[in-house]
Amino acid sequence: MFGLSGEKPLVGLDIGSHGVKALELRTKRKGKTDVFAVARAGYAPLPPDAIVEGAIIDSAAVVETIKAVFAKAKITNKDVVISISGNAVIIKKIALPAMENEELAESIIWEAKHNIPYPYEETSVDYAILKPKPGEDRNLEILLVAVKKDKIAAYSHVINQARKNLVAIEVDAFALFNALEANYPEEFAEKTTALVNLGANLATIVIIERGVPQLFRDLSVGGLYFIENLRKDFNLGHDEAEGLLQGIDARTVSAAEVESVLAANLKGLIEEVEKTLGFFTAEDKREKRIEELFLSGGLANFRNIAAAFEQKLLVPTALFDPFRKIAYNDKKLNPAYSRTMAPFFAVSAGLATRKREK
């Protein structure tokens, strides 16, 4: 959304609360579509509490982790696009009558001032005009995006300190939108699809109805919520609790006790997602339903999570594959990224497929 001009490929850099993911793609034009292949990919974990709920707490640790990811993956391209999420990001869909561009810009500023829960001067605002609904050609549906300037400054600072060139800033939800379009073009264009990115601190939900974004929402629940509950309930350290989430047995805790806590946490997570999906399906008088659900993010690797979502929501559910249409050569690149770690790369894949603004 907030971009500069240029033509070179970009590195999709996803700075999450749990780790940093970097993805560089090669692009070829095939007919009227772009065909992508992975050139370089890298991942490195962050120390606990380096980023908390999207806020950078330990900028030095984040800078060193970014440098480590680029060095390990041998990424020499310094041009990056990043994304931001959390309560410093506001995304709202508004409707306005059709009007001239100058008048539209003034109206959007007015709408932003009345729809953003922060002082307008403290935010950076952008917008996108959506496709008009059939029979409503006189109205414009507009996606209004506002991000707090201090959060942009904090992320820009670590990028500069890591000696990378910040070309553009997106929000996680739009990166996921791009990743779904690139990898599941039929579902994207022909169905009402939801993609839920289960990160460390947040669950980001994106709903697309036949190619048109309908709802974006961040929920304050993720993998660290599971880990923290395990830590408190069993008086464990962070690493031990994280091991339990990953299926590593602890000597002092029975498997039955762990399963009980994890089942309760998973139930709560699914119920929160269900509320958001229900809000979408009930917001208009016309009948709507989610036809397919995809799960991405680190928590998507949690055992049988797709089956649990499908059983509760009664919607076909699968793990999102960010390399389904993006070629990945396991013989030249670390095969773990295209196999066990694939769900981690949904946001970075969406960022890397982003075209620079001209």
Q: Please tell me the predicted confidence (pLDDT) of residue 167.
A: 95
Examine residue 358 and state whether it is found in any structural domain, yes or no.
no
How far apart are alpha carbons 14 and 349 in whole angstroms? 9
For residue 197, the domain's CATH number is 3.30.420.40
What is the radius of gyration, based on Cα positions, of the chain?
20
Q: Are 269 and 276 in contact (CB under 8 A)?
A: no
User: What is the token pair recorded at 20?
Assistant: 């940093």
pTM, full prediction: 0.90
Residues 6+ apart with CB under 8 A from 357: 3, 4, 5, 168
Examine residue 236 and state whether it is found in any structural domain, yes or no.
no
Examine residue 251 and state whether it is found in any structural domain, yes or no.
no
User: Phi/psi zone of residue 54: left (φ > 0), alpha (ψ -120 to 50 degrees), beta?
Assistant: left
The vertex-84 CA angle with 112 and 37, nearest 5°, equals: 125
Which residue range(s) make up the domain with 283? 2-225+263-352
How far apart are alpha carbons 181 and 176 in whole angstroms? 9
Examine residue 254 and state whether it is found in any structural domain, yes or no.
no
Q: Please tell me the predicted confidence (pLDDT) of residue 83.
A: 95
Q: Please tell me the predicted confidence (pLDDT) of residue 251.
A: 74
Condensed to tens digits (0 to 9), the pLDDT of residues 266-306 reads 999 999 999 999 988 887 655 678 999 999 999 998 888 99
Examine residue 233 and state whether it is found in any structural domain, yes or no.
no
**Which residue, 175, 139, 184, 222, is CA-closest to 325?**
184
How far apart are alpha carbons 4 and 24 in whole angstroms? 18
Q: Please tell me the predicted confidence (pLDDT) of residue 133.
A: 52
How far apart are alpha carbons 176 and 183 in whole angstroms? 11
Q: Please tell me the predicted confidence (pLDDT) of residue 139.
A: 78
Q: How many domains does the chain have?
A: 1
| pLDDT tens over the chain, length 358 residues | 544 333 578 999 999 999 999 999 998 877 777 789 999 999 999 998 899 888 899 999 999 999 999 999 999 999 999 999 988 898 988 888 888 888 888 898 898 888 888 899 999 999 888 865 555 556 788 889 999 999 999 999 999 999 999 999 999 999 999 999 999 999 999 999 999 999 988 999 999 999 989 899 999 888 888 999 999 999 988 888 888 888 887 777 888 899 999 999 999 999 999 999 998 888 765 567 899 999 999 999 888 899 999 999 999 999 999 999 999 999 999 999 999 999 999 999 999 998 755 4
Examine residue 250 and state whether it is found in any structural domain, yes or no.
no
Examine residue 15 and state whether it is found in any structural domain, yes or no.
yes
Q: Are 345 and 306 in contact (CB under 8 A)?
A: no
Examine residue 231 and state whether it is found in any structural domain, yes or no.
no
Q: Please tell me the predicted confidence (pLDDT) of residue 53.
A: 80
